[in-house]
Amino acid sequence: MRVVHYLNQFFGGLGGEEKADLPPETRTGAVGPGRLLEQVLGNDSQVVTTIICGDNYAAENLPEVASAVTKAVRDAQADLLVAGPCFQAGRYGTSAGEVCAAVQAQLGVPAITAMAVENPGVDLYREQVYIVDSGPDVSRMQDVLATMARLGT
């Protein structure tokens, strides 16, 4: 299975709020938590592309970000889009929900995300996108990624 992974600037390893205005950039292979995602996906799956986008940029340019992610999923001939996990990060959750909804609607490719129930992305996208409850913080990263991988495959 070919997987595309969407991350914000923090989990993509580019920095914190000082890098939140970065437009989407595409990387080959797994980055950051994508490496753990590959492990829990198993031998028949790999993260072929990672898209990293700043939270501010995504919040201010949702249609453009959704278009960039949709193009990356199409170009990668991906079988699954994984966005996040986003935990309580509201801008990240909103962009993750938007890119998942766009990829499913435009390409028919399954997409999954994870965020805390308090994340505003849950209310916005719960009827369009499968959202795993990530809990409030990163301490559950491995468990959340394992659940996402199981549901995505």
Quote the number of domains for the chain.
1
Query: Can you list the pairs that 68-72 forms with residues at least 24 positions away whose Cβ atoms lie under 8 Å?
Result: 68/24, 69/4, 69/6, 69/24, 69/99, 69/102, 69/103, 70/99, 70/102, 70/103, 70/106, 70/107, 72/4, 72/26
Residue 30: domain span: 2-152
Domain of 123, CATH number, reads 3.40.50
Q: What is the pLDDT of residues 73-129, one digit of tens each?
A: 999 999 999 999 999 999 999 999 999 999 999 999 999 999 999 999 999 999 999
DSSP string, 78-97: -SEEEE---TT-HHHHHHHH
> In the chain, what percentage of residues exceed pLDDT 70?
100
Q: What's this model's pTM, rounded to 2 decimal places?
A: 0.97
Question: How confident is the model at residue 153, as a pLDDT?
Answer: 83
- CA-atom Rg of the chain in angstroms: 13
Q: What is the pLDDT of residues 50-62, one digit of tens each?
A: 999 999 999 999 9
